[in-house]
Chains A and B, each alone.
Chain A
Amino acid sequence: MAIINIQDLVKDYDTNGIAVRALRNVVLTVEKGEFTAIAGPSGSGKTTLLNIIGGLDSPTSGTVHVVGKDLAVLSPKGLSDMRLEKIGFIFQAYNLIPVLTALENVEYILLLQGTGKEERRGRAMRILEEVGLGKEINRRPKELSGGQQQRVAVARAIVSEPELVLADEPTANLDQKTGAGLLDLMHELNHRKNITFIFSTHDRMVMDYAERLISLTDGIIVSDEKKKSRREGAVITKPKKMKSKR
C-alpha cells in the first residue's frame, strides 16, 4: 500500500525576484513500512521534498497524496491535524519544547490528540524506556546531551504510532557513535512497529542504514535503489514505482 504518492511535483522559489526551481517533475511512491533515505548535496531539494510531504510547504504544480489524502485540498487546520495524527517529525536541531521535561515533550503529542492522562503517561514512559531514557524522564532538554535530546525527539515522533516519520538530517548534529545508535533505534522501531521512515541526509552512514536510497540532484531524482541495510536482520521492502522525469 502506497503511503506517499507524488506525481509531477514542481516547486519554484522566488529568491530576490529570481525564480529558482527546487524540484523538477518529481514522481515518487513510497510503500508503508519503508526505511528510505533521500540523499543529495546541499541545495539538491531534499528538505523541500520532505517539507512538501509533511504539508509544511505547498507545490507549485503536481499532486501529493500522503496517507491517502490529497494535500492540495486540505485546509491549514486539516494539514495541522494530519501532521498531528499521521506524521511524526524529527529535526536536525532536535527542536524539543525547552520548558517541558523529556516526559512532557513526549506526552505533548498525545495530549494534543486528546489521549487520557493515564494512558498518555504510560505510553510516554514506555517509549522513553524503549529509547533508553527511562531514567531521564524529568530532565529538561538543556539538561540532556545532543544524542539524548534526539532520542526524545524520536520518542515524540513515534509515541502516537504515526504512519509516517519524516526525519530531516537527524544525525547531522551527533557524533558517529551516537548517530549509529539512533539509526539502530529507528531501524528497530521501523521493523517492530511497521512505521515508515523517510530521512533526508548527506551522511554516508544514514545512506548505509537505508533500505531504499533516493538520490536527488538539482531537484531531480537521479537514482532510486533498493538495497540491503547495513544493519543485520533488516527486511527490505520492494517499492512498486520509482521514477523521476524532467
Chain B
Amino acid sequence: MKIARYGKNMTIFMMISWRNMWRQKRRSLVVISSMAVGIFAMIFSIGFMNGMTVQMVENTINTTLGHIAIHERGYQKNMKLKYNFFPEERYYRALERSNLIKGFTPRVKIKGMISSSETSRGIMLMGIDPEREKTVSSIYHYTIKERGSRYLSDASSDEILISKYLAEKLELEVGDRAVFRIVDENKEMTGFAMRIAGLFESPVEAFDSSVVIAGIKRLQKLSGLGDNVSEISVRTKNKNAVDAAKEYLIRAIPDSHREILSWKDMEPSLIGYIELQDKMIYIFFMIMFITVVFSIANTLIMSIMERFHELGVMKCIGTRPSHIFFMVVFEAVNLGMVGLVAGLVITVPLVLVLGVTGIDFSFAIDAMRKWRIGTMVYPLIFMKDIIAATVTVLITTVVASLYPAGKASRIKPLEALHFI
C-alpha cells in the first residue's frame, strides 16, 4: 500500500523535474548540447573503429584465410610440403552435407621465388580451383578485368594472377612470363615459367606483395604433390555460423592427422586487436563519464541554490526528503536522456549513411592497406554500442546527481523559508 502510494507520488516528481529542466532553458540547452556532442563523438568513434575492425577481419577472410580451414596437423605452424595431405572424398561429402557452409575449395600453398628480367622476390604460390574459389574468397572480385587482364580460366592452365603492386615491382605486364623456383616434393629445387593472365588488387597490402595465384592442378603437377593439397578452405553462410560449423566438421571428420581451425584460431592477432578495441571503448566511456559528471553536478547545484526557498516550501507542506532526492535525480536523468536522444538523432543517421557511402581514405592508402582496411571505411554501429552509451549516460547522470540530490533533500525548511 505504502509502496503503491510512493510510486504514485513519483509521477508528479518526474513531471516537476521535467518542467524544472526547462525553467532555465539556455543553461539546460548548454548541458544537453554538450551531452549530444559527447554522444556524437563517442558513438561516431566507436562506429568508425567497428567499421575498421570488421573490414580488417572481412578482408583477411576474403583473401586467404576463409572462415575455416582443414589442415594436416602441424601445417599452421610450419608450411612445409610434407604437411600437405590427400583430401578424402568423405571430407567433401561432409562439407556438402552441412547447411551452415556456403562453399569450400582445396588449395595448394608453396613458398618460392618469382623472377622477372629485372628482379626477384620471395612469394607464396597459391594454387586454386578457379570456380570453387569464387565461393570462398574474393580473389575473383579483386581481379582487374580490363586491358587484357582476366581471371584464371581453369585449374590446369599455365597461367597466373599477380597483384598490380608485384607486377609494378617486377616490371611485368599481362601476357609476360614470370619464372618461379620452388623446392618440390623431393626437396629438389625446380624452376618453371608461367604466363600472367591477369592482375589483381586487394585491400590487403601483405596479400598483394607476397601471393601469386595459379591453377591448383598445374601447381600440384609442377611440385610433385600429386593430388595432395595444403588446405581445404571453407566459407560459412555467415560469420556467426563459424563456431557451429567448426564443431560440426570436427565431429564429421574425426581424423587425428587433421586439424580444423577457424579464422580466430589462425589469426589470433585479429582477436587481440578486437579485444584491445573493446577496452579502448571503455576508456572513451570513462572520459565521457568524467566530463558529464562534473557538468551535470554543476548545473544541478546551481539549480538547487536558485530553488532553495521553493524546496523549503515543498518540505514545509509535507514533501518528504526522499521525494526531493528523487526529484533532483530525475532532473539529472532528464538532462542526460535528452542529451542522449539528441546525440543519437544526430549520430545514428549519419553513421548509417556513411555506412553505405563510406569515408574515402585514399589519401592514406598505404597505411590503410597495411592495416588490411582498404581505402574506404564504412562506419558501423551495433545495438550493443547504443545500449552501452545509454547505460553509461544513465549511470553517469545518477552518480552526478547524488551529491546535489542529497544536499537538496537535507534542506531545512525553516532556513529555506528565510532564504530569498
Measuring CB to CB, which residues of chain A are less than 8 angstroms from any residue of chain B?
51, 54, 56-57, 76-77, 80-81, 83-85, 89, 91, 95, 97-100, 104, 108-109, 111-112, 114, 156
CA distance A10 to B313 in the complex (A): 25
Q: Contact check: which of B4, B23, B309 meets A99 at CB < 8 Å? A: B23
Residues of B within 8 A of A83 (CB): 316-318
CA distance A80 to B317 in the complex (A): 8
Report the number of A-B residue pairs with Cβ-Cβ less than 8 Å: 60
Measuring CB to CB, which residues of chain B are less than 8 angstroms from any residue of chain A?
4-5, 8-9, 12, 16, 19-20, 23, 309-310, 313-321, 323, 413-414, 417
Residues of B within 8 A of A80 (CB): 315, 318-321
A111 touches B9 (CB 8 A): yes
24 A-B residue pairs with CB within 8 Å = A51-B414, A56-B413, A56-B414, A57-B414, A76-B321, A80-B318, A80-B319, A80-B320, A81-B318, A84-B318, A84-B319, A89-B317, A91-B313, A95-B310, A95-B313, A97-B16, A99-B19, A100-B19, A108-B12, A111-B8, A111-B12, A112-B318, A114-B5, A114-B9
B16 touches A100 (CB 8 A): yes
CA distance A111 to B19 in the complex (A): 18
Residues of A within 8 A of B323 (CB): 112
A77 touches B310 (CB 8 A): no
Residues of B within 8 A of A104 (CB): 12
CA distance A110 to B309 in the complex (A): 22
Q: For the A-B complex with A76-B321, A77-B321, A85-B318 known, give 20 more contacts whose Cβ atoms are closer than 8 Å.
A: A54-B316, A56-B414, A80-B315, A80-B318, A80-B319, A80-B320, A80-B321, A83-B316, A83-B318, A84-B317, A89-B316, A89-B317, A95-B316, A99-B23, A104-B12, A108-B317, A109-B317, A109-B318, A111-B12, A114-B5
Dominant SS among interface residues on chain A: helix
In the A-B complex, the 3 residue pairs with the smallest Cβ-Cβ separation, listed nearest first, are A84-B318, A114-B5, A99-B19
Q: Contact check: which of A85, A89, A98 meets B310 at CB < 8 Å? A: A98
CB closest chain-A residue, reference B17: A99
Residues of A within 8 A of B23 (CB): 98-99
Residues of A within 8 A of B8 (CB): 111, 114
Q: Contact check: which of A51, A54, A85, A112 meets B9 at CB < 8 Å? A: A112
CA distance A54 to B310 in the complex (A): 17
CB closest chain-A residue, reference B2: A114
Name the distance in Å between A92's Cβ and chain B's nearest Cβ: 10
Name the distance in Å between B153's Cβ and chain A's nearest Cβ: 78
Residues of B within 8 A of A98 (CB): 23, 310
